[in-house]
């Protein structure tokens, strides 16, 4: 399936910015995110960079603040909403990102209105305890424009 068809399918399934409440979703303070974490970068590429940097720095508040309240994360065969991701895989993702180095081998961006499709291939190296890490991965992120700025609406990670 080509990227244009994927975005068309997503645009039919996901709400647009005009479908969102005027404040762009739940109050971040009520979602356990500090107000500072909600200051979103102005463009999708900056959001993606900030998300990866937050994971590597162990900054869970910023990482969560860049996620849309309705985010769905596909990882290790599971689909998690924001609260499930925060309580399950987020800590492991931070531990992994903070102990490894991710090298992006290639990335593509496709913007269509209020949505951006980002795909990347990467090579990750490092060591966690006694375990040497050398993996190749793929990542798909869907970002949506909200009244607050761009947020990550969907994440799908896979590696070998």
Segment 53-79, tens digit of pLDDT: 999 999 999 999 999 999 999 998 999
pLDDT at 1 over 50: no
Q: Which of 36-45, 102-111, 142-151 has the lowest mean pLDDT?
A: 36-45
* Every domain of the chain and the residues it spans: 3-11+30-159
Q: Across the chain, what does the average pLDDT equal?
A: 83
Q: Note the pTM of the prediction, 2 decimals.
A: 0.77
The owner of tokens 């005027």 is 22
Q: What is the pLDDT of residue 106?
A: 98
Two structure tokens written together for 3: 């990227």
Does residue 116 contact residue 127 with C-beta atoms inside 8 Å? no
Beta strands in the chain (DSSP E): 67-75, 78-80, 100-112, 115-128, 131-146, 149-159
Residue 147's CB is within 10 A of a number of other CB atoms, namely: 12
Condensed to tens digits (0 to 9), the pLDDT of residues 75-97 reads 989 999 999 999 999 999 999 99
Mean pLDDT throughout 18-23? 32
**Between residues 99 and 39, which one has the greater pLDDT?**
99
Confidence of residue 39 (pLDDT cuts 50, 70, 90): confident
User: Which of these ranges, 13-17, 101-105, 115-119, 150-154, has the smallest mean pLDDT?
Assistant: 13-17
Q: What is the structure's pLDDT at 84? A: 96
Give the per-residue pLDDT at 9.
Answer: 43
Q: β-strands 67-75, 149-159: how paired?
A: parallel
The CATH number that domain 3-11+30-159 falls under is: 3.10.450.50
Residue with tokens 């900054």: 59
Q: How far is CA 19 from CA 22, 29, 73, 141, 145, in A?
A: 9, 22, 21, 21, 11
The pLDDT value recorded for residue 41 is 84
């Amino acid at each position: 399936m080509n990227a244009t068809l994927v975005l068309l399918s997503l645009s039919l399934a996901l709400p647009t910015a005009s479908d969102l409440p005027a404040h762009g979703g739940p109050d971040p303070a009520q979602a356990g995110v500090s107000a500072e974490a909600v200051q979103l970068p102005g463009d999708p590429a900056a959001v993606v960079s900030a998300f990866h940097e937050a994971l590597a720095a162990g900054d869970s508040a910023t990482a969560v603040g860049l996620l849309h309240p309705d985010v769905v994360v596909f990882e290790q065969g599971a689909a998690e909403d924001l609260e499930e991701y925060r309580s399950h895989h987020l800590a492991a993702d931070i531990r992994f990102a903070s102990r490894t180095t991710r090298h992006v081998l290639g990335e593509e961006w496709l913007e269509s209105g209020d949505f951006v499709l980002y795909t990347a291939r990467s090579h990750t190296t490092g060591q966690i305890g006694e375990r040497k890490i050398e993996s190749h991965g793929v990542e798909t992120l869907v970002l949506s424009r909200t009244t607050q700025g761009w947020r990550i609406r969907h994440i799908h990670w896979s590696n070998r």
